[in-house]
Structure 1
Amino acid sequence: MTSIDLDKGDAARRTPTPEEFAAAYASPQFQELRTRLRRFVFPMAAAFLIWYLSYVLLGAYAHDFMATEVFGHVNAGLLLGLGQFVTTFAITAAYVRFANRQLDPRAAAIRSTLEEDLA
């Protein structure tokens, strides 16, 4: 007896067995998906953490530099702090674009092999 879930559009989909999940996890397609994710996430996270740590260290130890007025009452510390927000949004946008182009199609293909239509 096959268990059935109702998914998007009321399409009946088969629920994979634990053995099928294990086989999908061990498949070359899934390993490629994980590798692509790691190749994006780890360097991006490391770069952002280094950038953030640099900002904190500059704020703690380079008071004169951070207090340098760039224009008007806006100093280097304020611009670097705002740069943290800009960097966060840029990384998020880059990840969404990467996921839409590289990860989601591969994940959908793996899922479709696990949940074949019953029709």
Structure 2
Amino acid sequence: MSTVDQPASAQPPGHPPHEHHQLHPSGEQFIAMQASPGFQNLKRTLRRFVFPMTAFFLIWYALYVALGAFAHDFMATPVWGNINVGLILGLLQFVTTFLITGLYVRFANRDLDPQAAALRDKMESEVER
């Protein structure tokens, strides 16, 4: 039995009982929200980050693959002991992934989440009417 199906007294501490009579937005309200200037601005804001970052990473990755395929001597250049340029560039792929993830989290917290919260609050207030 899931916590949703359990009686209110059996709910985990700190969780309000599930209400089956909550108001939900209609399909028309979702469509109207998607057409709103606020939602369009949210999509533009997301795309302003995602598209350039995706292009950057794909180009960076393709460059790494192309160097591995066509520039064997360059990639085999020793840097320190058994560590060569290819190994360093390969490890930088992971570093880049974590860096982009961190940048996205910061961007989302700063730019996307406040806009999304405002849209959600607006929709919830319209549903309650």
Which ranges in structure 2 are unaligned for 5 or more consecutive residues? 1-14
- CA deviation after TM superposition for structure 1 residue 72, in Å: 1.0
Structure 1 runs of 4+ off > 4 angstroms? none
Residue in structure 1 matching 2:88, options 74, 79, 86 = 79
SS in 2 for 1:15: coil
**Matched residue count:** 111
In structure 2, the partner of 1:69 is 78
Which ranges in structure 1 are unaligned for 5 or more consecutive residues? 1-8
Q: What CA RMSD, in Å, does the superposition of the two structures yield over aligned residues?
A: 1.9
CA deviation string 1:78-106 (max 9, x = no partner):
00000000000000000000001100111
SS in 1 for 2:86: helix
In structure 1, the partner of 2:36 is 27
- CA deviation after TM superposition for structure 1 residue 14, in Å: 2.9
Task: Looking at secondary structure, tell me which structure has more strand per residue.
Answer: 1
Question: Which shows bigger deviation, 86-95 or 14-23?
Answer: 14-23
In structure 2, the partner of 1:113 is 122
Structure scoring higher RCO (CA < 8 A, sep ≥ 6) equals 1
CA deviation string 1:10-61 (max 9, x = no partner):
4975311111111110000000000000010000000000000000000000
> Are 1:15 and 2:20 matched, yes or no?
no
> Are 1:45 and 2:40 matched, yes or no?
no
Whose radius of gyration is greater, 1 or 2?
2
TM-score (normalised: structure 2): 0.80
SS in 2 for 1:77: helix
Identical positions, percent:
61
